[in-house]
Each structure stands twice: as structure tokens, then as C-alpha cells.
Structure 1
Amino acid sequence: MTSRPFTVADVMTRKVVAVEPGAEFKEIVTAMERWKVTALPVVEGEGRVVGVVSEADLLLKEEFHDHRLGLVEQLRNLEATAKAGSRRAKDLMTRPAVTIGPDASLPRAARTMASHRVKRLPVVDDQGVIQGIVSRSDLLKVFLRPDEDLAAEVRRDVVEPLFPLSGARVAVRVDGGVVTLSGEVRDTALVPVATRLARAVEGVVDVRCELTGRTKPQGS
């Protein structure tokens, strides 16, 4: 039976530090410093995410602190100057928040972070209520899986289904997340498939394939 792929729910942090729309500037900064985070979800009601306030949003106040803008420059930087003059989360936050669902795959979460240039994503349910938060470091947790777990999964989900007759002659070794497949198999056409499937196992860093075709006995 093929293992279920890891999802955001498997790696996300369930204890979330968030602020309400009315949170004051200093309150937000204090929360970031206390919990060592660079962004906070802004939630209202029963926990519905309405935005995210980040260090970048807050630093606009410092950026424009001693800099008086002309009218043309103000018009070009309406959002930035508005945030620089604000002091509550509802006016400082970036909206709509970039979020992700708990059932999303880890590659999808990574692509979303990269495309939006953010370091973390609020995880929300179908109603937009916060369930957790997932960060770049959370996505790397799968690479902490023990080598023996990876070896067992590769054998169960890759070797045994692909090589039901010769699988017993295939050795699966994992060292530091690097899988080595060695031994003899009947059907060498499946070797590239085995390599690809082994590399797709969550937590595998790389695959070294040393599989060869079964040597026929002399005289056969």
C-alpha cells in the first residue's frame, strides 16, 4: 500500500501567534520580538484571517520618518505612505493574506512561498479560519525522517511493486537521506522508474542507482 504523501497539516505549527485588527503598532512589534517571528496573521471574529502584518509593513514608518515626500512622490507611494502614517494592524497589514489549506502538498506550499516571496503562510480551513502556520523551516522537517523509515518505504512502495519476482535480490540502503539501490533485477527497463519513484519519497535527498540486469547462468 502506497504511503500517503505528506501535507501541510503534517508539518505546520499549530500554536499560532496572531493579532487582532485593532492591535497597536507597539503591541505588534512586541509580539514579533517575544515570539521571534517576522510576520503575524491578523484575525477577527472566530479566527478568520483577514491579512498579515510583517516587518516590512512596519519598517515603512521608519523609512518615511525623516523624509517629507512631495505630492508626486506621495501619489506614487500611496500604499506605503498610508502605512507609514498608520498605527493599527488593520491599516498596516497586507491584504488579502496569502494562505494555504492544511491538505495542500509540501511542493505546493513551497511554490506558493516562492511566487509570493513570503517566508510563512497562514494555514486556513474552507471558511478562512486559521488552523496553523507553515514556514520554510517546517517544509524541511520531512528531511529529518530516520534513514530506516525511508529505506522501509522505498522497499515497500517502490521495490516490491516494481520487482515482485526479483525484489529479494535488491538491496536498499539509506545514509543521510541518500538512497542506494543495488542488486540484480529481471526487467532493466524499470530501473529509471525505480529511481524516479524513490526520489519522490518524502524526505529522500538523492538516489544512487546501482541496479543491473540479472546475469543468466552459463549454458542457459
Structure 2
Amino acid sequence: VDDALRQMALQGRGQAPVVNAQGILVGMVTRAELLGFAQWGEADTAAQAWAAWRAQDVQSVMLTPIPSVSRGADMRRVARALLDSGLPGLPVVTDEGQVSGFVSRTDVLRVALKDAGLDVWG
């Protein structure tokens, strides 16, 4: 968890995909889950609890299964997936399930503002 928080902070991201050794999407973490102090358990002090939380494996706190979108998905499909999931963004995956990118609500809004024509919505 500590490494994931550090990487997300360095990259200015609020969420990140979790992949296996083959690069296949297995889950996702968000800043909210990584800072989810409700699962601190039996620790005696806040410092001990925070240290224990940060030492956990990211797979124990990731969201899974996680929805994703394909590289060729139109904006209507992406917008629907974002709304249905309630997540701030979703991984973009290849046909083999490997993560090739990430799309956020902000990305969808940028496309909508840039190309106000209805053809962008598929």
C-alpha cells in the first residue's frame, strides 16, 4: 500500500490499475481505498495502525473485479461504464486484457467539449 500511495502521488494520480506478472488487469486501487483507515484492526495506536495499513499488500485492498473499456470503445460506452461503476476512471485494455491506458471522467468531458458533434457519442 505504501508503494502504491507513493507512486500515485509521484504521478499525480488518484487511481491506478493493478496487473499480474503478465500485465493482465486484476484490479484497481484508488486513493480512497488506500487511505481507508476503517480496516486498521487491533493496533494499539494510530501510528501502529497506519504502519500496519501501509505494509499491507495492495491486492488485499484493491477493487476487484474491475470494469474496463477496450481501446476501440466509443465515448458513449466509456461514459456509461464510468457512470455505472461510480469510479473516477477506468483502465483501457487490449483484447488480451493487458492495460494499455486509463480513461477518466475528465477525459470524457474534454472530448465532449472539444467535439460537440453527436458523432462522438457513437
Give TM-score, length-normalised by structure 2. Answer: 0.77
Preserved CA contact (<8 Å) 1:122 1:133: yes
Q: Distance in 2 between matches of 1:127 and 1:38?
A: 25
Q: 1:53 aligns with which of 20, 29, 40?
A: 29
Moved over 3 A (4+): none
Q: 2:110 aligns with which of 141, 144, 153?
A: 141
RMSD (Å), alpha carbons: 2.3
User: RCO higher in 1 or 2 (8 Å CA, sep ≥ 6)?
Assistant: 2
Is 1:28 the counterpart of 2:4? The answer is yes
1:64 Cα deviation after fit:
4.2
1:86 Cα deviation after fit:
6.8
State, as a whole percentage, how many aligned pairs show the same letter.
27
Counterpart residue number, 1:41:
17
Preserved CA contact (<8 Å) 1:42 1:53: yes
Whichever of the two has the greater Rg, that structure is 1
Preserved CA contact (<8 Å) 2:90 2:102: yes
Which digits, 9 at most, give the CA deviation of each residue in 1:172-201, with x for residues without a partner? xxxxx6xxxxxxxxxxxxxxxxxxxxx524
1:35 Cα deviation after fit:
1.1
- The total of aligned residue pairs comes to 110
Q: Distance in 1 between matches of 2:23 and 2:69?
A: 15
AA matched with 1:91: S
